[in-house]
Amino acid sequence: MAKILFAAVLFCLLTAVSFAGKIPDPEELGKVVLNNTSSRAGMAPVVFDHWLHRAKFTCRLCHVDIGFAMQRGETGITADFNMQGLYCGSCHDGKREIEEKTIFASCAEKATGEERKQCARCHSRGAEGQREYQFETFTGNFPRLPGGHSLDWEKAEEEGIIKLIDFLPGISFHRDPLKAQEDFSIEVTTWASDVIFSHSKHAVWNGCELCHPEIFPSAKKGTVQYSMFQIMRGEYCGACHINVAFSIWICNKCHTKPVR
Amino acid sequence: MKKIIFFALIGVCGLGMLAGSMFPDSPGTVFAADDWKQEFAEVCGKTQNAMEFTPEELRSLINRCIRLEERLNELNGPQGSERKVYATRLKMCKELYIYTLEYREKEK
Amino acid sequence: MKKTLFLAVLSVIVFLGVALAETGVKKRRPLPFEYGRVVINNYSEGARLAPVVFDHWQHRMNFTCRVCHVDIGFAMEAEATDIRAVDNMSGYYCGTCHDGKKAFSSCELDFGLKSTETCDRCHSLGKKVERKFDFAETTRGLPKERFGNGIDWERAEDEGKITPSDYIEGVSIKRDQLVVQKDFLLDAKVEGMPEIIFSHKKHTVWNGCELCHPEIFIGIKRGTTKYSMVDIYEGRFCGACHGSVAFPLLDCQRCHTQKVQ
């Protein structure tokens, strides 16, 4: 009996430790390295930190209006596209003004020694230290999730610390908002408690098109069956909650319904 | 004598009927060379008015489509492309008329 | 050893799962000039040519859907038409216009290096071919819309900026004015989603009747055929056009316009 108890306690401790170790460092969470053609063009791969853009824009703006995919290497961004005003070039064109600041141009046919320093603002793999905005200073006053580790973006918006832009003239189109669906609970078949899914919380930043139909093909709850295995692989909820949104390892952010 | 003439006449008629039955059913129209294209234009050029036709008119159009299909089947060789294309167009046209006829019949 | 092998196999399966995941992930969306692209490779590779890349937008500006998909007889699925070089050379399919007179000539039996430049205009998959008509240049003045080609084709036509032709001499049949069927309402299955007003008029202007009936929409009376968004996303019913060429399904509010009272 004592042995079983000891084993159980040890198991829980180890699980807790392993889980804690898994929650990514907030500065690292959302970091994407892009290298479709950078190396071939003799440039360092691009390092895109989500946190800065996330503090300024809704997810919808980039992933629906501009059309970025949500898988590594999937979008196929090239310097040509950027220079045509697509993808990064939608804002990074040297002309667009956001919050009274002109956004630096991305990519050029040729770049001199001095201009190359601008390239290094994005093509920075291996030299990440030289950023204009530092994570600690920028997010210093952001609220944190319980545990004091990860950032609580939801609360940051509620408290007015960040104000997200959801419309880019010339890129976005006005649409009447669709009625957000009611919150609903997802029954879990294992020992974990049920998940309460909040459509309104997700729709505020994503709209409908970000998730439907590509990530969640059906409009009717229960049509698509998936498990934590698929989520861990980056499908369904994992499309966002592995790499960018709050980590999947903070179990009780989703599994909130009390166990019967 | 009269009997012989009578039976001879019957025999001739019989032979005639036999001969006639050996020929395929008259298609109503026999298409010479490219005349079928004109018929095609006449029949399938009316699809935009399909909903205005009576069931009888639709049946007549469908029959004309079937005749055209038979004519098309005779096209072959270097004209294979022609057959492929017109077969598709005719199929769409015929099926639209059939579809509309079904609608008319269900309406009653 | 066994454990390593097991882990190796497991990782391969997981990797493949991620790499080949079709749902549950957000893939790349075609760019405005790519939307409506069809790759045709029935016989190209067999003839040692690159597969054909057909971009709808160029033709869409100049012709109605009906002219190609009814009058000329193109199918509405890639490679379903079975186009051969000999068909084109006989003046059918692409060759209806691409005969050297109305537009550049398509296909010849005796093609070689001298004809590569012309062949490459269509047989261009994987080749760096500079298109004669640049998308951004050609569509510069057209009214813009969300997703797809990024163009409001309907408004472009209303404003007279494009005048799609509905008749090809020698191919199309001279027709009377189309009698337009009424618009009607379609209920959305999900509660709260605005209802759809289906406009026959808007569709028949470009499609006529035969394009949709009965092949795409077989139900005689509205409500006979039951279908849902799942069917539509899989390319059936509305998805036959609105999945790949007409304004995409991603733009929900283009159809779901009628707020539920």
- Of the listed ranges A35-39, B51-55, C21-25, the least confidently predicted one is C21-25
pLDDT at res. A111: 80
Candidates A68, A18, A235, A20; CA nearest to C29 is A68
Average pLDDT of A177-206?
Answer: 87
Mean pLDDT of chain B: 83
CATH superfamily of C176-261: Cytochrome C3 (3.90.10.10)
pLDDT at res. C190: 81
Interface test with C, best of B36, B39, B47 (most C CBs within 10 A): B47
Candidates C258, C179, C187, C180; CA nearest to C222 is C187
Tell me how crowded residue C208 is: count the other CB atoms within 10 A of its CB.
24
Are the beta carbons of A195 and C211 closer than 8 angstroms? no
How far apart are alpha carbons C24 and A230 in whole angstroms? 8
pLDDT at res. A188: 87
- Residue of B93, B103, B106 lying closest to C210 (CB–CB): B93
pLDDT at B32 over 70: no
Instruction: Kindly give, in sequence order, each residue whose CB lies less than 8 Å from that of residue B21, ignoring residues fewer than 6 positions away.
Output: none
Average pLDDT of C189-204?
Answer: 89
pLDDT at res. C34: 94
Specify the DSSP class assigned to residue C144.
Answer: B
pLDDT at A14 over 70: no
CATH superfamily of A177-260: Cytochrome C3 (3.90.10.10)
pLDDT at B23 over 60: no
Specify the DSSP class assigned to residue A249.
Answer: T
Tell me how crowded residue C203 is: count the other CB atoms within 10 A of its CB.
18
Helix H or strand E encompassing A185: strand A184-186
> Amino acid letter at C221?
K
Interval A120-142: pLDDT, tens: 889 988 876 667 888 889 999 99
Distance in Å, alpha carbon of A48 to nearest chain C alpha carbon? 17
Q: Output the CA torsion C211→C217→C221→C223 (10° steps).
A: -150
- Residue of C87, C209, C218 lying closest to B47 (CB–CB): C209
Using 50, 70 and 90 to split pLDDT, how confident is the model at C108? confident
How far apart are alpha carbons A130 and A34 in whole angstroms? 18
| B81 domain residue, yes or no | yes
pLDDT at res. A22: 73
pLDDT at C59 over 90: yes
| B10 domain residue, yes or no | no
Interval C10-51: pLDDT, tens: 666 655 655 556 678 999 999 999 999 999 999 999 989 999
pLDDT at res. B26: 43
Are the beta carbons of C172 and C67 closer than 8 angstroms? yes
Percent of chain B with pLDDT over 70: 81
- Which chains neighbour C (Cβ–Cβ under 8 Å, 3 or more pairs)? A, B
How far apart are alpha carbons C171 and C48 in whole angstroms? 31
How far apart are alpha carbons B60 and B51 in whole angstroms? 15
How far apart are alpha carbons B4 and B10 in whole angstroms? 10
Distance in Å, alpha carbon of A55 to nearest chain C alpha carbon? 22
SS3 per residue for A48-69: EEHHHHHCCECHHHHHHHHCCC
Using 50, 70 and 90 to split pLDDT, how confident is the model at B92? very high
Which residue range(s) make up the domain with B94? 29-107
- Residue of C23, C27, C190 lying closest to A219 (CB–CB): C190
Candidates A136, A126, A112; CA nearest to A52 is A136
- A245: which 2 tokens? 């949104």
Using 50, 70 and 90 to split pLDDT, how confident is the model at A32? very high
How far apart are alpha carbons A63 and A30 in whole angstroms? 14
- Integer distance in angstroms from the first to the last C-alpha of chain B? 62
- Residue of B49, B78, B106 lying closest to C221 (CB–CB): B106
pLDDT at res. B27: 43
Residues of chain A with CATH 3.90.10.10: 31-138, 177-260
pLDDT at res. C175: 87
pLDDT at B108 over 80: no
Using 50, 70 and 90 to split pLDDT, how confident is the model at C188? confident
pLDDT at A5 over 70: yes
Mean pLDDT of chain A: 87
Average pLDDT of C139-149?
Answer: 95
pLDDT at A20 over 70: no
CATH 3.90.10.10 fits A31-138, yes or no: yes
How far apart are alpha carbons B107 and B101 in whole angstroms? 10
Average pLDDT of C109-135?
Answer: 88
How far apart are alpha carbons A105 and A83 in whole angstroms? 8
How far apart are alpha carbons B58 and A168 in whole angstroms? 55
- Which chains neighbour A (Cβ–Cβ under 8 Å, 3 or more pairs)? C
Are the beta carbons of A74 and A68 closer than 8 angstroms? no
pLDDT at B50 over 50: yes
Return the domain boundaries, chain C. Answer: 25-174, 176-261
Interface test with A, best of C22, C29, C135, C152 (most A CBs within 10 A): C29
Distance in Å, alpha carbon of C226 to nearest chain A alpha carbon? 16
Are the beta carbons of B87 and B68 closer than 8 angstroms? no
Helix H or strand E encompassing A119: helix A116-119
Are the beta carbons of C143 and C151 closer than 8 angstroms? yes
CATH superfamily of C25-174: Cytochrome C3 (3.90.10.10)
Going from the C-alpha of A17 to that of each of A14, A20, A21, A22, B35, the distances in angstroms are 5, 5, 6, 9, 86
Percent of chain C with pLDDT over 90: 66
CATH topology agreement for domains C25-174 and C176-261: yes
Are the beta carbons of B94 and B62 closer than 8 angstroms? yes
Residue B95 burial (CB < 10 Å; 0-12/13-18/19+)? middle
pLDDT at res. B24: 45
Are the beta carbons of C93 and C87 closer than 8 angstroms? yes
Using 50, 70 and 90 to split pLDDT, how confident is the model at C165? very high
Are the beta carbons of A242 and A234 closer than 8 angstroms? yes
Q: Residue C184 pairs with which residues in a beta bridge?
A: C198
**B81 and C92 in contact by Cβ < 8 A?**
yes
SS3 C198: strand
SS3 C184: strand
